[in-house]
Amino acid sequence: MLGTGVVARIAATRVGPTGTVVGIDLNPGMLSVARSVVSPDSRSGGQLQWQEASADKLPFPEGSFSVVYCQLGLQFFADRPAALREMRRVLGTEGRLALMVWRGIHESPGFAVLADALQRHVGQAAAAIMRAPFGLSNADELEALVRAAGFQKRCNSTPEWNGALSFDRAIVLSYVAGSPLAGPLSQADDAARRSSNH
């Protein structure tokens, strides 16, 4: 879904002046951020609209879109099959679905270390929140979900990340403060918070 609208803005530059891109998110705060950002080349792109909606109840008629793109969202949806069926419903006959999900947490060592620290010092609920983004890393599980929603052909692309992420204290604290981890950590005692940040 939308997030802060980065992908929607890029797509709008690609569809040309006669195209339309709709960015969807359930979170009004995300939509507010998306609306506040003006792309420098927005004049040459297609029309860009923002819509508050749930992925499993898209407010569009059947066959409304040529492409549906979901970046780093499917793993968080409460009803993944329903969301995928909705994506299929709003696509035209020759429509295409593009999904982006994170690979396994073992391939993101900084996040794995943070999840382990949270488990030891804060609790299972906090560790589960940290591991949630990696919840659809199994390619077979993802393909089964997509096929069950009525999608037939498959074109798989697995981009590789060749860089390294630095996880210093400031980055970790900023990440935690802006994520669902803020709640569990705010309830932890000072010793647990200090331990999970080291």
Q: What is the pLDDT of residue 195?
A: 52
Contact 134, 110 (CB under 8 A): no
Is the pLDDT at 59 greater than 50, yes or no?
A: yes
| DSSP state letters, 8-76 | HHHHHHHH-TT-EEEEEES-HHHHHHHHH---TTGGGS-EEEEEE--TTS--S-TT-EEEEEEES-GGG
CA 149, CA 8: separation in Å to the nearest integer? 24
For residues 4 and 30, is the Cβ–Cβ distance under 8 A?
yes
Average pLDDT of the chain to the nearest whole number? 82
pLDDT band at 41 (very low <50, low <70, confident <90, very high): low
Confidence at residue 46, expressed as pLDDT on a 0 to 100 scale:
76
User: Can you give the pLDDT at residue 147?
Assistant: 93
Is the model's pLDDT at 165 over the cut of 90? no
Distance from C-alpha of 45 to C-alpha of 57, rounded to nearest angstrom = 28
**pLDDT at residue number 194:** 55
Evaluate if residue 66 carries a pLDDT over 50: yes
Question: How does DSSP assign 133-156, residue by residue?
Answer: GGTT--HHHHHHHHHHTT------
From the DSSP assignment, how many helices (H) and strands (E) are in the chain?
9, 4
Q: pLDDT tens digits, residue range 109-146?
A: 888 888 998 899 888 988 998 899 898 999 889 999 99
d(CA 13, CA 19): 9
Whether 35 shows a pLDDT value over 90: the answer reads: no
Tokens for 146, please give them.
Answer: 């997509």
